[in-house]
Structure 1
């Protein structure tokens, strides 16, 4: 299969089959500040002012979309109003507001102006905008996916609330997380990294399932999530946000922008203060950790005017975080190595630097440098076990980009990845039969080269890429990927994707439950890199019947591993067996989704996910734990005509999940073989003034909780203690109130 994909990519890059273009249609509505339709407004493409149209009595218009994406600049004007200039991404429906009081700069928008939309690309990339993030509390990155069915935030340690982002039913380690296109969340920063990015600095989140671009590396087996920070020249001049919830936790955000000629700067701060000590299920353990977080962020943007010149973004970020979880009586200042009072503490200090610097030779050619460096220091206690770790990570990517024949893009370059971490584990005179204490050192030196070609033969387009990387221990890795899209009609698209990926394993940071439990770790062999092939199919269809728009989507992805690693918890109850699994291991994922919108004010979304994640042990099919085979999500959003009120609600239903076997445990510690189905309902109401927004909401309205998720909570220093059996929410109902002040 691998050589077939590589051969296909080579053939595509040599030959392009040109099919006849079908010119899609753009439609839209033009309104004033009050939301009233503007009849007789002029709408035209900037390059063809004499070929425009005027809006009808309902403010509606239709125009053919130019085949050349460079010509998709739309100008809308009306007597007594300032003209509006929009750069259109793709066919669909626009909602344009003309203003009387100020001049609008040129902005780039999606065709349907929805809070979520698909990129105009052969890859199926779902864009979650900052507008969508306001539909829930979204305090940090892990909470930004309440209204999407493609990503699930999962808790990996119930005592410290460490989280990961899953796609296709696979562990979050297979999902490459990028920050501004850079791999800043990996290694030691993987465990708590998704909690350290505040939602207020995020502009867009790009979610791609399955195989994606090779430009950012060889990982991304199940997908890729790229978090794009706000740009200083577009962000609010001043943003203040305060948040408090019913557990007593408070969060504060502030960002400030300054601008000069050709440059701009954004500074931001993020503070989290801990909740109260709460134990509702009377197991003597806190229902949520006490978290203190302080984060500073500064980003500079510079751009020379004209078609030639330098453009640069330079960012600095620092995170200082403390987490404390465990028994009610635990105090970190005196109990960190206690043998009688159990607790977990995490102290993190993490400075990082990143840059994206480009030099534009002309409108068609540029060279770009993406680089980052990060230092991570972590001091932790898991009961009496201490875990101290340090990591130094650096990354550089230089690529040349060239557009030829006006619409085909070639990108090629080289990258280098450096990762070095040192981990020290000490049982502090409480081994419990465990033998894996000591020091663990790891170093990755990975140079690579890559090339990726984008062909646009409307209605057919394709991205074909390949990269070759060399690991100093494991040798060469070849990664081919191909993504194709065919425009069946103006409103129907089909996408195909296929590609391979590989990754090296970070044992303890990616399996933090090993340190939290009383299990011994048995190393049967050295851990090899994980390898997999992913194939995907997506169908997207839009039905427009003004003022209604219905979007239907269907996905299917299959991930097949050649080598996979996960600890074996089932064979022996007091041990975790570490071995490579080179037999059949598969994830089949299907998703059906429908989104109905009315007049840009009402949006209703419903989605269903089917997951079949298993491995073959001989002739027996073994379903992997903590994966609901069936999931259901629905979300409803409403906004008043004058945009003064917003109401949002969502429901998630999870089917039963297989749990790790406890049949060999003593009877008092045995757990059911499967979890029970459950649902979580959340809602939020927002009031908007000119500069203020007040939002109030409730997560998990019906207060579903998995009671006493910790195994052997009565004896936390005993041989069967384990915190890795949580399959559902443990905090219960959460009521919150927030205030935003925005100065544009």
Structure 2
């Protein structure tokens, strides 16, 4: 394993950044009746692009230069937008005028903490750090509390793991990326979302439906990309400390420094500790496992001559989870999960100084992961080495952006050695591939993108991945989109079903040579209207996913086994969503959304609702800031629809559970006070203290065949109070 990691590290090469000049820096202040106040959270982006950032607590910002862009847009709720011409090497001092002082208000498109881009052919939601600060957001799994498009699911009642869902389907069908590199796959599937600390994140991009072919063939329902803090950020120091009443403590730090005129470096640190036994329902099992996590990253950036840039970094993570029965019980049922992970990346790219804005890049990433876990008498261990490389070419054609071509070659290697009790599974995957993606943009109103991949898997042979995206704007402020595409994935059967080991039944894999593939289709309409100085955004969308082949987990056919097999029949998911974002009163932003899911699969020859999947979700979020931007208040509530609970045949009445669970409501709130250089926040999660009453069936006999901690459909943890502080020092 070590030799393979060293060999892969020696092969590493890199990615591209389209920024070749020094970043543009400046300060944004607000003019309120002659009083000048630094503005945190101002959206700063290049005109007619989605490339942007936000100001920090002191109103400072830094944004990468774009060779073909000279105008920056500044937008902030309660202030008039401003567009500024950028002069090379000049430090910007931008003053936004309060809306209240203006007799005539000119409203431009506003980029808020969370917004749907109207410029791209993809249905993409951008979440920046301003939105992430509206909740605790300790890690990636907790970063979608205010997002109507992504759900968080609880796979079991003993490990504390969380997984996301998109378009009504499990998160494994959405490709997870860190800085456009596929990540958190394979052995990391169960716990990977907790490996991305919230304060490390600069922004998140959520794309729904068929994604671009550039980064692979695995996306079926969408992509989630995370951008980390970088050495070019305006802060040289950022600190975050967090504490909750369940004795959970977290600490995060970001430190950056220039080494010389070309090199800059940054270190990111995260520590998490939860050491208190919590058992609200008195069943003898911890509601949340004891957790210790250390997460470290060091990254370097180098800016070369003539438009070249190099980025490299390494990340190390160690996490220990101890769940199950509380200490003191004779022969306790224990759940122990240990993760050790090393990740390294090296990126290099070059932007040519020509009319076509041609660029080439090489991205490489290597990951080594070691998992050791025990669920009562069941033991699952895994070792994984993952190597990913992508050689990319991008260029306009004919000297304009009407025609654009992206093409490339990539190669993936995956080595997994797994043991489940007395069984062993060793797999080696070699997957070379090539792709091309053509974009036709005859005007600002219409964009068509068509992509095709051709890959070869050493176990499943050659296959192609076609995808197409259309964008049309019939009138100003109205955008229609359509997409269609295919996706494939080879599931890590044991790793993805590891949570099912928290059961008295045997996990039996009938077929482990499954190559899942599905078609995804989607249409959407995004419309913006202005009511005086306020903007209202209305989004309506529909997506359908049709599986041709799928891994199916059957929890209902046998009293002694959980069966994992190949789909025999139909399986599909329909997702309908309507969401509205608007400002009701000055500085009071509201998001309201409703989504319906129709998800069915064939079990034992019958087409049934997918179990433990909620039929609908409603979301209402309120965000209010005071006039001086010293205080911010956030409230969000979710209405989670009911669903079907899998039924186990032959179970005694004492262990029987209802066939369905009812709808329930979750309520969260947070207050933030900003001060010079930072902020302090306090909040409460699950204010109504709603929990699933009996998430562990047979808790009094955990080694019996009727024991089951896998039929979880709601929160296991009750009400939780927390507080935290953020502090930053700027470079200038």
Which category describes the TM-score, using the shorter chain as reference length? 0.7 to 0.9
Would you say the 8 A contact 2:74–2:83 is kept in 1?
no
Tell me the distance in 2 between the aligned counterparts of 1:549 and 1:198. Answer: 33
User: Which residue does 1:365 correspond to in 2?
Assistant: 358
Q: For 2:122, what is the secondary structure of its paired residue?
A: coil
- Out of 208-217 and 381-390, give the one that drifted further: 381-390
Tell me the distance in 1 between the aligned counterparts of 2:654 and 2:46. Answer: 74
Determine whether 1:302 maps to 2:289: no
Deviation of residue 356 (structure 1)?
2.5
| Residue-by-residue CA offset, 1:493-534 (whole Å, 9 max, x unaligned) | 000000000000101211122322221233433432001000
User: Which residue does 2:688 correspond to in 1?
Assistant: 702
| Residue-by-residue CA offset, 1:373-412 (whole Å, 9 max, x unaligned) | 0000111111122222111011000011112242132110
After superposition, residues 590-609 of structure 1 pair within 5 angstroms as 590-597=576-583, 601-609=587-595
Cα RMSD after superposing both structures: 2.6
Would you say the 8 A contact 1:93–1:111 is kept in 2?
no
Instruction: Indicate which of 706, 718, 730 corresponds to 2:716.
Output: 730
User: Which residue does 2:387 correspond to in 1?
Assistant: 394
Tell me the distance in 2 between the aligned counterparts of 1:382 and 1:616. Answer: 29
TM-score for both structures, normalised by structure 1: 0.84
User: Which residue does 1:375 correspond to in 2?
Assistant: 368
Tell me the distance in 1 between the aligned counterparts of 2:138 and 2:122. Answer: 29
Unmatched segments (≥5 aa) in structure 1: 1-29, 39-44, 48-68, 75-84, 332-338, 427-436
Determine whether 1:680 maps to 2:666: yes
| Residue-by-residue CA offset, 1:77-134 (whole Å, 9 max, x unaligned) | xxxxxxxx4499xxx9836799xxx93289xxx9413111223201111000111000
Would you say the 8 A contact 2:638–2:665 is kept in 1?
yes
Determine whether 1:352 maps to 2:349: no
User: Which residue does 2:272 correspond to in 1?
Assistant: 272
Q: For 1:631, what is the secondary structure of its paired residue?
A: strand
User: Which residue does 2:61 correspond to in 1?
Assistant: none
User: Which residue does 2:470 correspond to in 1?
Assistant: 484
Tell me the distance in 2 between the aligned counterparts of 1:94 and 1:715. Answer: 63
After superposition, residues 565-584 of structure 1 pair within 5 angstroms as 565-584=551-570
User: Which residue does 1:535 correspond to in 2?
Assistant: 521
Determine whether 1:94 maps to 2:93: no
Determine whether 1:283 maps to 2:283: yes
Tell me the distance in 2 between the aligned counterparts of 1:354 and 1:633. Answer: 37
Tell me the distance in 2 between the aligned counterparts of 1:233 and 1:671. Answer: 54
Q: For 2:501, what is the secondary structure of its paired residue?
A: helix
Deviation of residue 598 (structure 1)?
5.9
User: Which residue does 2:227 correspond to in 1?
Assistant: 228
Would you say the 8 A contact 1:94–1:113 is kept in 2?
no
Would you say the 8 A contact 1:508–1:514 is kept in 2?
no
User: Which residue does 2:14 correspond to in 1?
Assistant: none
Distance 1:722 1:658, change over 3 A: same
Tell me the distance in 2 between the aligned counterparts of 1:285 and 1:247. Answer: 15
Would you say the 8 A contact 1:250–1:275 is kept in 2?
no
Deviation of residue 638 (structure 1)?
1.0
Distance 1:614 1:95, change over 3 A: farther
| Residue-by-residue CA offset, 1:609-665 (whole Å, 9 max, x unaligned) | 100000245874300011111210010111122211111110011111101013531
Deviation of residue 37 (structure 1)?
8.8
Determine whether 1:130 maps to 2:129: yes
After superposition, residues 504-653 of structure 1 pair within 5 angstroms as 504-597=490-583, 601-616=587-602, 620-653=606-639
Tell me the distance in 2 between the aligned counterparts of 1:97 and 1:667. Answer: 70
Would you say the 8 A contact 1:508–1:515 is kept in 2?
no
Determine whether 1:457 maps to 2:433: no
| Residue-by-residue CA offset, 1:124-165 (whole Å, 9 max, x unaligned) | 110001110000000111010010111112122321111211
Q: For 2:155, what is the secondary structure of its paired residue?
A: strand
User: Which residue does 1:103 correspond to in 2?
Assistant: 91
| Residue-by-residue CA offset, 1:278-319 (whole Å, 9 max, x unaligned) | 1110100011110000010111122235xx332122121100
User: Which residue does 1:342 correspond to in 2?
Assistant: 333
After superposition, residues 160-171 of structure 1 pair within 5 angstroms as 160-171=159-170
Would you say the 8 A contact 1:687–1:695 is kept in 2?
yes
Deviation of residue 463 (structure 1)?
1.6
Tell me the distance in 1 between the aligned counterparts of 2:516 and 2:29. Answer: 55
| Residue-by-residue CA offset, 1:46-70 (whole Å, 9 max, x unaligned) | 99xxxxxxxxxxxxxxxxxxxxx98
Tell me the distance in 2 between the aligned counterparts of 1:328 and 1:443. Answer: 39
Distance 1:87 1:301, change over 3 A: farther
Would you say the 8 A contact 2:567–2:602 is kept in 1?
no
Would you say the 8 A contact 2:156–2:711 is kept in 1?
no
| Residue-by-residue CA offset, 1:266-286 (whole Å, 9 max, x unaligned) | 111000011411111010001
- Out of 640-649 and 584-593, give the one that drifted further: 640-649
After superposition, residues 414-433 of structure 1 pair within 5 angstroms as 414-426=409-421
Count of residues in correspondence between the two structures: 651
TM-score for both structures, normalised by structure 2: 0.85
Deviation of residue 34 (structure 1)?
3.7
Distance 1:139 1:451, change over 3 A: same
| Residue-by-residue CA offset, 1:17-64 (whole Å, 9 max, x unaligned) | xxxxxxxxxxxxx995344599xxxxxx999xxxxxxxxxxxxxxxxx
User: Which residue does 1:202 correspond to in 2?
Assistant: 201
Q: For 1:566, what is the secondary structure of its paired residue?
A: strand
Would you say the 8 A contact 2:601–2:610 is kept in 1?
yes
Tell me the distance in 2 between the aligned counterparts of 1:283 and 1:411. Answer: 56
Tell me the distance in 1 between the aligned counterparts of 2:565 and 2:427. Answer: 18
Would you say the 8 A contact 1:648–1:684 is kept in 2?
yes
Instruction: Indicate which of 443, 446, 455 corresponds to 2:431.
Output: 446
Would you say the 8 A contact 2:503–2:707 is kept in 1?
yes
Would you say the 8 A contact 1:550–1:595 is kept in 2?
yes
| Residue-by-residue CA offset, 1:462-511 (whole Å, 9 max, x unaligned) | 22101011000100111000011001111100000000000001012111
Would you say the 8 A contact 1:391–1:419 is kept in 2?
yes
Deviation of residue 545 (structure 1)?
2.5
Would you say the 8 A contact 2:272–2:294 is kept in 1?
yes
| Residue-by-residue CA offset, 1:199-232 (whole Å, 9 max, x unaligned) | 1111111101110100010011111101111222
Q: For 1:157, what is the secondary structure of its paired residue?
A: coil
Tell me the distance in 1 between the aligned counterparts of 2:161 and 2:699. Answer: 19
Q: For 2:127, what is the secondary structure of its paired residue?
A: strand
